[in-house]
Structure 1
Amino acid sequence: MTEPEDRCRLVLIVPDDDDAAEQAKRLEEALSGGDVASVILPQYSLDDQAFQKRAEALVPVIQAAGAAALIAGDSRVAGRAKADGLHIAGPLAEIEEAIDKFVPKLIIGAGGASDRHHALEIGELRPDYIFFGKLDGDIKPEAHPKNLALGEWWASMVEIPCIVMGGGDTASALAVAETSAEFVALRAAVFDHPKGAAAAVAEINAILDEKAPRFEA
């Protein structure tokens, strides 16, 4: 068994669900399936109060499994829910403000990098990671070619870790790993898997253990 840290690791995106209890149950099941580095919780259509309540319910589930809980967009929710970090896909000024205010207390990750130029502008701010793709961007079985290309370019030249959004199929995890990205983000591939979320996480880790390139120490 290889150490998970020496190859691409899994990041989960919590799917939208009106039923809070069902969402927590599905997330707990997924986390029981094997190595997960972190979990990003988007707000979706919830109002701020409902999102706060949802985060307070899910953050302990994530942390109990040994993963980092990252709240998308709302620093107040992240603080009140005692999350590990904040995922921001907003403008550069918003990312810079969060880094200045919360690092190193919180992990600050940055999304919204749609091209190389914007990615490098984000990189100059030194976030803890950069995210290529959209949190709900797994609309096809495979990862978006543009995101794969950005991940491969970034991983070859920048030390800041990158997360690349995968597709709706578990096989997309390997395509992301082959770019040398440190993390692959999956949502539908895990939570809509016909054998269940735990089986999906186990399958993805097995694929990455067997076939993902190893990082140099």
Structure 2
Amino acid sequence: MTGTENRCRLMLILPEGEDIDARRVMLEDALRGGDVASVVLPQYGLEDGVFQKHAEALVPVIQKAGAAALIAGDTRVAGRAKADGIHVTGGLEAMAEAMGNYSPKLIVGGGNAKDRHVALEIGDLAPDYIFFGKIGGDIKPEPHSKNLALAEWWASMVEVPCVVMGGTDPQSALAVAETGAEFVALCQAVFAEPRNAAQVVASVNALLDEKAPRFED
């Protein structure tokens, strides 16, 4: 999940859906909008076999655009679909298990870090990134203040990159960037109106290009 960009980058989280073709089109449109570091494909309520079909159809779309495809759900699907990594939605034990089984062959990140203590325990495992917030946590226009505070604290002292769940307003990406976080995760902000997804990705990238703080080398 590294890139030449010297600022906060986008992680997209695909919303739930059962129509593979519709999800593929929605994803292709969003990825046409500009720089995206990675895309998380959550399992949601899909049965393992159905989830695998979705992953096999969508992972190549993500990779073709130059982004990393991350699976959140049945970890076996990641290997079968040739995804780039695993997004862990559980806590410390789930992260330790995923790290043991898949790192460094695959990207492993995530973790349900709700406070500083848990965050540091997850950080000790040296995942590829830590995630503040949760999938589906974008229920307000702005990011959750607790996640912003955790990210600001984390970015100032820990080398493991962090991702913060943004809000439903695309402009919320800037609030995340201002914490020093390496990545902002957006879902509803981009996909609520799928036909506008490319335009939103482009506008978020323009906003971050203009106003996001730059990282020191």
Task: Identify whether the pair has TM-score above 0.5, normalized to the shorter chain.
Answer: yes
CA distance in 1, matches of 2:206, 2:4: 11
Distance 1:176 1:133, change over 3 A: same
Give 1:200's aligned residue: 200
Amino acid at match of 1:82: K
1:68 positional shift = 0.1
Instruction: Please state if 1:115 is matched with 2:112.
Output: no
The 5 A counterparts of 1:179-194 are 179-193=179-193
Give 2:95's aligned residue: 95
CA distance in 2, matches of 1:124, 1:203: 36
Amino acid at match of 1:47: E
Structure 2: where are the runs of 5+ without partners? none
Amino acid at match of 2:121: E
Superposition RMSD in Å: 1.3
CA distance in 1, matches of 2:139, 2:110: 21
Number of residue pairs the alignment of both structures matches: 215
The 5 A counterparts of 1:1-217 are 5-193=5-193, 196-217=196-217
TM-score by length of 2: 0.96
CA distance in 1, matches of 2:73, 2:127: 14
Amino acid at match of 1:61: V
Cα deviations by residue, 1:112-163 (Å, 9 ceiling, x for unpaired):
0011111011011111100000111110011110111111110001000000
TM-score by length of 1: 0.96
CA distance in 2, matches of 1:61, 1:97: 28
Distance 1:43 1:194, change over 3 A: closer
CA distance in 2, matches of 1:19, 1:195: 16
Structure 1 runs of 4+ with >3 Å offset: none
1:111 positional shift = 2.1
Contact 1:111 1:133 in 2 (8 A): no
Contact 2:38 2:69 in 1 (8 A): yes
